[in-house]
């Protein structure tokens, strides 16, 4: 059974002590493809370097709402460098993670929106999908995606368990990626949200090293734990875990156009 972790942060400093050993363990444990997601200029560089080093790793490039520069001028310079990374690396499979976060940052909402829209433009120019991060910004996120055409669509990563967000995202043709929170004992509507998402639109991810699933909450997360997300979905949808693995693997290859890379 092969598994596809569609969103991890292998470049994170929490992996600095054992990254090479861990990557080998991840592969041996049946994670046969994964995406190391960029969230800043430096992170995007590191993620793409890893993708070039390992054949089963792919990468994204983008500036998250928690990592955007403080001025428009700095933003333009940074986005030009993100463009160069994405253009030069054939294993860059999406622009992301991008989006809005009003939980950590409430003072720069307009600059967040601008960065989000400009990176949608960049994705369209480069013919890549997008990977969306949204936290406590559902209304503005949906409004931007509705008003700014996203040519190749994309993924709501670690998608908040919000009915309206999932409903609108699916209407717009986006994929929904489930992570550790769907396994948490206090996720009251996780089962309902999982059932809302058609099989052909679901992905699984770890968002590691963060958001370790049950039964590993509080420990460092890594891509091997994506199996717990697959198990949760299999349980809710009354499917075999092998079928969940196959479907989500195929979906990830489709949205990120990986078969041809």
Three-class secondary structure of residue 246 per DSSP: helix
- Is the pTM higher than 0.95? The answer reads yes
What DSSP element (H or E) covers 134? strand 130-135
pLDDT digits (tens, 9 = 90+) for 88-147: 999 999 999 999 999 988 899 999 999 999 999 999 999 999 999 999 999 999 999 999
Q: Which two tokens stand for residue 95?
A: 């622009």
Spatial distance between the Cα atoms of 31 and 119, rounded to a whole number of angstroms: 29
Q: Which tokens belong to 10?
A: 């292998």
Structure tokens at 259: 């078969």
Tell me what pLDDT residue 188 has.
Answer: 85
Along the 261 residues of the chain, how does pLDDT read in single tens digits?
Answer: 899 999 999 999 999 999 999 999 999 999 999 999 999 999 999 999 999 999 999 999 999 999 999 999 999 999 999 999 999 999 999 999 999 999 988 899 999 999 999 999 999 999 999 999 999 999 999 999 999 999 999 999 999 999 999 999 999 999 999 999 999 999 889 999 999 999 999 999 999 999 999 999 999 999 999 999 999 999 999 999 999 999 999 999 999 999 755
- Are the CB atoms for 119 and 95 separated by under 8 Å? yes
Contact 206, 180 (CB under 8 A): yes
Nearest Cα neighbor of 99 from 113, 86, 81 is 113
Report the pLDDT value the prediction gives residue 1, as an integer from 0 to 100.
84
> Rounded to an integer, what distance in angstroms lies between the CA atom of residue 139 and that of residue 144?
9
Q: How far apart are CA 187 and CA 95, in angstroms?
A: 29
Distance CA 251, CA 165 (A): 20
Are the C-beta atoms of 233 and 191 separated by less than 8 Å?
no
Give the closest residue to 46 by CA, choosing from 13, 95, 80.
Answer: 13
């Amino acid at each position: 059974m092969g598994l596809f972790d569609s969103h991890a942060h292998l470049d994170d400093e929490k992996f600095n002590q054992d990254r090479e050993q861990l990557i080998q363990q991840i592969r041996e444990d049946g994670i046969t493809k994964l995406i190391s997601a960029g969230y800043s200029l430096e992170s995007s560089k590191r993620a793409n370097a890893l993708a070039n080093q390992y054949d089963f790793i792919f990468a994204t490039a983008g500036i998250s709402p928690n990592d955007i520069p403080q001025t428009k001028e700095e933003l333009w310079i940074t986005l030009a460098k993100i463009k160069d990374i994405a253009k030069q690396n054939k294993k860059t499979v999406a622009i992301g993670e991008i989006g809005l976060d009003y939980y950590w940052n409430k003072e720069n909402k307009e600059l967040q929106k601008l960065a989000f829209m400009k990176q949608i433009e960049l994705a369209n120019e480069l013919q890549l999908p997008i990977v969306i991060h949204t936290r406590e910004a559902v209304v503005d996120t949906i409004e931007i995606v509705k008003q700014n055409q996203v040519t190749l669509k994309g993924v709501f990563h670690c998608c908040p368990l919000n009915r309206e967000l999932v409903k609108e995202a699916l209407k717009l043709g986006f994929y929904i990626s489930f992570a550790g929170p769907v396994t948490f004992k206090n996720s009251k509507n996780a089962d309902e949200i999982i059932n809302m998402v058609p099989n052909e639109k679901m992905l699984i991810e770890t968002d590691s090293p963060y958001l370790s699933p049950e039964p590993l909450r509080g420990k460092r997360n890594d891509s091997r734990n994506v199996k717990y997300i697959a198990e949760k979905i299999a349980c809710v949808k009354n499917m075999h875990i092998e079928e969940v693995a196959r479907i989500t693997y195929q979906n990830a290859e489709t949205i990120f156009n990986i078969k041809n890379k």
